[in-house]
Structures are given as C-alpha cells and as structure tokens.
Amino acid sequence: MTLTLGGITFDRVVYDADGDVLYLHVGDPSTAVEFEGVPEGHHVRYAVDGSLVGITLLSPKWLLEHDGEIVLTLPERTIRATDLRPVLAAV
C-alpha cells in the first residue's frame, strides 16, 4: 500500500493497531540516520542527505476520532491528514 501526504508518497505503510502507531517510509527505512521529534509528538526520520525517509505517527486513530485530523509540523511544511481510514482499516 502507498500513501501520499503533503506531496510525499510513502511506499511502505504499516499500521500497528494494538499500539495505534502508523509507520510511513519512503524507500528503505534503514537509511535513516537522523531522528527528530515534532511539536505534535510524532517522529520524523531523515537520510544522510537530509531527505525525509520516514514518519511515525503516534495515536493516529485516536487523533482522527477526537480531533478530525492529524497535524505534522516539519521544518519545510505542515502536513494535515484527515482521511487515513483506508490505511487504519487495512489491518
């Protein structure tokens, strides 16, 4: 399954329903060398060249049910996700 958020297409999408954690990767997740938390509490991973290679969204199902959206503030943009139901239901 692929997912596009904020103009970024993630080709590896894994949802852990028990922990309510959504893992999004661009290419091989092992290329990440830098990890950064964002103001909303999620985690972003970057490759050695500074390109985004992964995002870990914490409690995405809960956030969508309570807030109606997930906000992710990156240095270069803010991403708002409102329709992740297909991904979260794919478990």
Average pLDDT per block of 10 residues along the chain, 91 residues long: 85 94 88 86 89 91 90 80 71 51
H-assigned helices in 1-91: 60-67, 85-88
Q: Which pLDDT score, from 0 to 100, does residue 83 have?
A: 64
Task: Kindly report the pTM of this predicted structure.
Answer: 0.82
Q: Which pLDDT score, from 0 to 100, does residue 90 have?
A: 62
- Look up residue 54 and give its amino acid: G
**Domain of residue 36, residue span:** 3-88
Number of domains in the chain: 1
Q: Which pLDDT score, from 0 to 100, does residue 16 have?
A: 95
Q: Which pLDDT score, from 0 to 100, does residue 43 have?
A: 92
